[in-house]
Structure 1
Amino acid sequence: MLDPVTSASIGGVNVRLQTVLHQRGIAPESLAVVCEVDPKTVGRWLGGRVPHPRHRRRVAHHLRVEERFLWPPVVDERAAPTNVELVATYHNRAEVPRETWLSLLGNATEQIDVLVFSGTFFAQSNPRVAHTLIERARQGARIRMCFGNPGSRAVIDRGSEEGLGPDTLAAKIRASLTYYRPLLSADRCEVRLHGTTLYNSLFRYDDTLLVNPHIWGQPASANPVFQLRRVNDVGWFDNYAESFDAIWADAQPWIPD
């Protein structure tokens, strides 16, 4: 039985643990060696599982941080709000640790939804992204990838607003889509193209959602990211999830040239 502590991001990934690893330049595998556990166990810790007390002490010592920082004590639920959805905020997309993206992707078991124009970074951060998505689908997750239609008015306007050439964003979308060709023949995987004015890029992994708002005239990479966890069916999370579903319903299946 675990002690009554909770990870630094309830119901989602342990953002603090992942951030410290990223800042220290320490591979998660090293924690498995230090704690004498399987690397998959460390993956579960990164995904929000709380380690045994002796492992918490070893991890904190190895990372040179306080144990309570990585796994704060539980707050009295009677005094705490029950609908707090905001888990973490990032000044820009580059500040989201790569391990956070990889852990969320690798730990999703039910649903992965991605809504972007080009989403080039999503594949560049993990060149085996298609393989990972297909593996998640084989384990039962539903995969929905929604990219901008290169020929749509929305893509042309967005490129113009960012000061890009007339076909630059469209070319980026076409290049990004090449990573996802294997999904077209995989069960439980779909790729569609939308022509919607995109106010946010969305990345959903089960009950965790990363929202990347779009600021006019700036690339999405320069804009903030905030991480939500689903706590009920009337909060921010579901509002964004419903917006994805609405765009997805009107999007067209991607048929490569």
Structure 2
Amino acid sequence: MELEKNKNELLVYIVVLLLGVIAIVSGQFLGNTINGIFTSIGTSILASAIIYFLLNHFVGSPILPIVSSLQKLDLSLKESVELLNQTSKVGLIGIWSRRMSIDNEIWIKKIKESKSTIDILGYAVHFLPEHYEFNELIETKNKEGCRIRILLGKPDGYYIKARNEEEKNEGSISDRIKTTLARLSPLLEQGFIEIRLHDAPLYNSIYKFDSEMLVTPHLYGLRGAAAPLMNLKEIDKGIFEIYNKHFEDIWSISEDYSLSKQD
């Protein structure tokens, strides 16, 4: 096989050299202008053939590294296309290694772009009401016709206590929930939002903005901010509808929260 390959290469060199010689010789029988052109072409062909021959036999083929790089690039592109094809089929349009990796302004942008629905499910979602624009923006979106539902953990619930133990920070989640409720009270009092409290084993936090959704899985002993974050888009038979059903299921079994019950 190697011998046959070498024979073919040698044949190619001979043919190329002959073409160069023919071009140079032909130029001698033509006019001055054509003579120069053919001589230049023939000389270039000869020089290229000689240089390639020397490089190939004493240094190694100069083409092989390029071919190898192109093959790797082609494989990488094919894998990327396949990955994009798979993610597009389930509606996954973005992913981050940690929720804290994205700027808070992205959350505010998602809220601003919402037209009909904002649904939030988590334990405390403490980071959102902390933003200085949040309450005013939620009020504005409600007045524009957007329904806003927020599902928080029941501060004294069984699963909240279990989650506290996982995070090895007893009481902190309950405190964060109470702080969130206090910050949301003005919105609830004026009817801009609906709040329910759940006591369920929560495997994900969900933030739905119309036909888009941000989802954070709950990992053992890890706060939500340090867990991965997925950005989903609503498509037929995609992941979005699975998480949307999850939200609705928990909403249906959770308790209404009102300020009058707290008095």
TM-score (norm 1): 0.65
Instruction: Report how far residue 211 of structure 1 moved.
Output: 0.3
1:109 maps to: 115
Tell me the amino acid that sits aligned with residue 147 of structure 1. Answer: L
TM-align CA RMSD: 1.9
Aligned with 2:155 (options 150, 155, 166) = 150
State the 4+ residue runs in structure 1 displaced beyond 6 angstroms: 79-82
Aligned with 1:95 (options 86, 97, 101) = 101
Aligned with 1:250 (options 246, 250, 253) = 253
1:30 maps to: none
Any stretches of 5+ residues in structure 1 without a counterpart?
A: 1-74
1:139 maps to: 144
Q: Is the 8 A contact 2:87 2:93 kept in 1?
A: no
Q: Is the 8 A contact 2:97 2:227 kept in 1?
A: yes
Tell me the amino acid that sits aligned with residue 215 of structure 1. Answer: L
Question: Partners of 2:164 and 2:223 in 1: how far apart?
Answer: 9
Instruction: Report how far residue 128 of structure 1 moved.
Output: 3.1
Q: Kindly name which structure, 1 or 2, has the bigger radius of gyration based on alpha carbons.
A: 2
Q: Is the 8 A contact 1:110 1:141 kept in 2?
A: yes
Tell me the amino acid that sits aligned with residue 190 of structure 1. Answer: E
Q: Is the 8 A contact 1:108 1:206 kept in 2?
A: yes
Which structure 2 residues correspond to residues 10-21 of structure 1 after superposition, within 5 A?
none
Is 1:240 the counterpart of 2:243? The answer is yes
Alignment length (residue pairs): 177
Question: Partners of 2:248 and 2:94 in 1: how far apart?
Answer: 24
1:42 maps to: none
Instruction: Report how far residue 253 of structure 1 moved.
Output: 1.3
Instruction: Report how far residue 129 of structure 1 moved.
Output: 1.4
Question: Are the structure 2 counterparts of residues 84 and 118 from structure 1 closer, same or farther at C-alpha, using a change threshold of 3 Å?
Answer: same
Any stretches of 5+ residues in structure 2 without a counterpart?
A: 1-80
Is 1:123 the counterpart of 2:129? The answer is yes
Question: Partners of 1:186 and 1:242 in 2: how far apart?
Answer: 28
Is 1:178 the counterpart of 2:182? The answer is yes
Which structure 2 residues correspond to residues 167-246 of structure 1 after superposition, within 5 A?
167-187=171-191, 189-232=193-236, 234-246=237-249
SS at 1:184's partner residue? helix
Q: Is the 8 A contact 1:114 1:146 kept in 2?
A: yes
